[in-house]
Amino acid sequence: MRLTALTFDLDDTLWANRPVMERAEEEHYAWLDGEIGHAASFPLEEYTRRRMTLGLEHPLRRGDFTWLRHEAMKTMLRDFGHDDHEASHWSQVAIERFLVLRHELNPFPEASGILEELASHFRLGAITNGNVDLTRLALDHHFEFSIAAGEWLAPKPDARPFLAAMARLGSVPSTTLHVGDSWKEDALPAARLGMQVAWIDVKGLGAPGPLPAGVHVLSHVRELPALLIRLTGQALSS
């Protein structure tokens, strides 16, 4: 099989994201509370609930997590008694604080070496539904670009970020393999477009349905080079 390009999901594909988000969420909220003392009236659960409600009220922006955070925080701080100016100011600095913490993450130890090796054989792009900014991470230089699908208002499983990535990588579905941990947002949409897929079954639960053609199950990104050797019939060493 001839493959020319790889697209990568980021969160939970190249690092374990849950501990990163839990820490970022707790710490930025505690920091804000230290500045303005809002958390006794508006605990973290209230902020979470407001973000979810806002996402339901604005379905097009449901994947634009930074916007949801900002808007939910602003209205909450108005309800706490801040005027518009103060509410905007504090929500802005709180989100910036959150984003700093959100980028304090450790990619899997093998990730950089694997990407380095793959980049000499394939063109690499990233597609994320999350609000990680790849340019703030050391892994950035392996990729030609990163598509923030949520901020494009077309979060995966929407086909558009996949099609845009292939257009930029000069590839077509049959010559492109997508790597990701989500069955619904990575494996299914990429397979439906006719791409090859390395589905990383992080939880080891197995596919929730019959495995579509072209979907290969891995348990960790470290298994990716061996899969690519098997699929392409070529050695990868540069």
Indicate the residue among 66 and 75 with the shorter CB distance to Mg ion.
66
Order across the sheet with 146-148: list the strands. Answer: 146-148, 123-128, 5-8, 176-180, 196-200, 215-218
Cβ at position 180, least distance to Mg ion in Å? 6
Indicate the residue among 87 and 134 with the shorter CB distance to Mg ion.
134
| 153: Cα separation from own chain's centroid | 14
The H helix count followed by the E strand count for the chain is: 8, 6
Cβ at position 60, least distance to Mg ion in Å? 21
When asked if residue 71 is in the footprint of Mg ion (CB under 5 A), the reply is no
| 138: Cα separation from own chain's centroid | 16
Look up residue 212 and give its DSSP letter: P
Binding-site string for Mg ion from residue 153 to residue 182, where x marks contact by CB under 5 A and - marks none: ----------------------------x-
Indicate the residue among 62 and 121 with the shorter CB distance to Mg ion.
62
Binding to Mg ion in span 6-45, by CB under 5 A: 9, 11-12
Cβ at position 19, least distance to Mg ion in Å? 14
Residues 6+ apart with CB under 8 A from 170: 4, 5, 123
Residue 194 sits at φ, ψ, to 5 deg, of 95, 15
Indicate the residue among 71 and 181 with the shorter CB distance to Mg ion.
181
Binding site for Mg ion (CB under 5 A): 9, 11-12, 181
